[in-house]
Amino acid sequence: MRAGDYFSISINGGRELKVEYREGDTFETLSNRINTLSTRNLKASVSIGENGPALKLEAKNGATVDFISGSDGRDALSKLGLEERNIISPEVLFDLGEDQGIDPEKLGGVFALRLDNGFAFSTKKEAEYILTQIQNSLNVIESANRSLTFDPIRAQILQASKNNFGPAPAYLQDRLARYQDGLQRVLAVTGGTII
């Protein structure tokens, strides 16, 4: 990279913040600059992988972060081995909410497999753990597939559960009255009182 190469970030659709490479910058100084610009919504750090150091970027606090390339010839994003894209925070990623599948116009969603790239099969215990993680990922894939088809029965059940207000059914009221009566008798024998 050359001094003046840059890319931009936009947090939650806000204004674009320019991240510029300066002469002598390291991954560490660049990650510190990104953290200063993005305050609490994006965490930049340095990770060491097979190909040496690299920037690791994570969205935080429910934020969505867009990465925008610099102008032709001055784009730092591609020189860092990154592409234009957006990332979302784990809070959003893993909290799909109960409304999934109720609206036929809003099918699908965001699904994460939670797979780690540091898996190793060196012991039987690690292999069992990896098998569990892969099974969990397959379950997520099945959920993602189901979310692409509108299920009117499931939508009706979810909608009915949201509207489940009002008095309890008569059989529950009767059962509650019997429990209260029994409790009063026990307290009368033991000398206690009901609040």
At residue 4, the 3 state secondary structure works out as coil
Does any domain span residue 169?
Answer: no
- In the prediction, which pLDDT does 20 show? 92
Per-residue pLDDT of the chain (195 residues; tens, 9 = 90+): 889 999 999 998 889 999 999 999 999 999 999 999 887 889 998 888 777 888 888 888 888 899 999 988 899 888 888 888 888 887 766 655 545 555 666 666 666 676 666 677 778 888 888 888 888 888 888 877 777 777 777 777 777 776 666 677 788 888 888 888 888 888 888 776 555
User: What residues contact 33, with CB distance under 8 A and at least 6 apart?
Assistant: 19, 25
d(CA 160, CA 142): 25
Does any domain span residue 148?
Answer: no
- In the prediction, which pLDDT does 68 show? 92
Which domain covers residue 63, as residue numbers? Answer: 1-89
- In the prediction, which pLDDT does 153 show? 77
Contact 15, 34 (CB under 8 A): no
Does any domain span residue 193?
Answer: no
Does any domain span residue 84?
Answer: yes
Number of domains in the chain: 1
